[in-house]
Amino acid sequence: MSKASAPEKAPWRIGELAEQTGVSTRSLRHYENQGLIIAQRSSTGQRMFSASAAQQVRHIRMLLDAGLPTQVIAELMDCIRDPGRLDPCAVPTLVEHLQDYDRRLAELETTRVTLQGLIDSSQPG
């Protein structure tokens, strides 16, 4: 089955979802444990994911790549609509995290300047 036709198939086993998204089965289990994705169980106990799970995983990866922890992502899941686009309900949380990153960057720059000053003052001459 090609990836182009895979989204039509549902439900997906965890290995199929991993193949479709490029995310390891271990990560998918972690996302499930964090409440980010939901799996039903088959009669044999296998995890089975709906057709929308692949898009949810892509959204999760996008937010993880943006530096958000899974706890925050869980809070934002209702604000996700299209790939790469969040509803306005996500903005306050994202602004808060952006401000935190800006603060940490400023602290790192101060540390860098201090270290460079120490290096410069240690040079002979």
What is the tens place of the pLDDT at every residue in 65-120? 999 999 999 999 888 866 667 889 999 999 999 999 999 999 999 999 999 999 99
Nearest to 60 by CA among 39, 74, 47, 78: 74
What is the percentage of the chain residues whose pLDDT exceeds 90? Answer: 75
Q: Is the pTM of this model over 0.85?
A: no
In order of start, what are the domains of the chain with their CATH numbers? 6-122 (1.10.1660.10)
Please state, as a whole number, how many other Cβ atoms lie within 10 Å of the Cβ of residue 48. 16
Q: How many whole angstroms separate alpha carbon 51 and alpha carbon 48?
A: 10
